[in-house]
Structure 1
Amino acid sequence: MVRWAAFSCLLVPVVLVVFGTSVGGAAVPALGLVAVTAVCRLLLRRSERSVRSRRTAGNAKSQGARRGARAHD
């Protein structure tokens, strides 16, 4: 998904220049797209880490509960 965003960051300025926008005028949307892409990538990685840590914590709790149940039997 991030690869498509990076591709768009390159494609949009090229298309703008081809259709008559100045290079400086095309640079502004390009920088905006780069900024949005960077923030989205950061948030995506953060959410993946959060899910991973929840799964790890959930596995540890379920294993602890199993061990505790065995100890009482």
Structure 2
Amino acid sequence: MSGPHATPQTTPPQDSVTDVVRWAAFSCVLVPVVLLWYGGSLAGAAGTALGLAAVTAVCRLLLRQSERGAAQMRAAEQAPSRGHRHRAGAGARRGGRHTGGSTPVG
């Protein structure tokens, strides 16, 4: 008797940045068309399209940079330690207020 079997997904997971950029590109086309449809000027629609494209490009760049940074952090967390030892206690540098040392004696 053969029933439904669970099959592993063969498609790769969707890239969220790619999805965001696709929607942004769609809006770069849709918004000027709507502006023209409702009587906006061609120059206004073209300026809007260029502005949206510029914002989309910058957002894509920042999202990719953020993904690379997150991937580097994950890789650094998973990498084995190379013998760095963290000091704790009185000799550790903690950036707090230091007493003595440079105060004049008088």
TM-score for the superposition, normalised by structure 2:
0.56
Identical-residue share of aligned pairs (%): 63
Q: Which of 28, 39, 53 is the aligned partner of 1:34? A: 53
Q: Which residue matches 1:69?
A: none
- The one-letter code matched in structure 2 to 1:51 is A
* 1:45 equivalent in alignment to 2:64: yes
Q: What displacement does 1:8 show?
A: 0.2
Bigger-Rg structure (1/2): 2
| Unaligned 5+ runs, structure 1 | 66-73
- The one-letter code matched in structure 2 to 1:64 is S
- The one-letter code matched in structure 1 to 2:51 is G
Q: Which of 14, 19, 23 is the aligned partner of 2:38? A: 19
In structure 2, how many angstroms separate the alpha carbons of the residues matched to 1:58 and 1:64?
Answer: 9
Instruction: Note the alpha carbon deviations across 1:45-68, whole angstroms, 9 max, x for none.
Output: 0000000001111111xx337xxx
| Unaligned 5+ runs, structure 2 | 1-19, 83-106
Q: What is the aligned-residue RMSD (CA, Å)?
A: 1.2
**Which structure shows the higher helix fraction?**
1
- The one-letter code matched in structure 2 to 1:54 is M
Q: Which residue matches 1:6?
A: 25
- The one-letter code matched in structure 1 to 2:22 is R
In structure 1, how many angstroms separate the alpha carbons of the residues matched to 2:74 and 2:28?
Answer: 34
For these two proteins, the number of residue pairs brought into alignment is 63
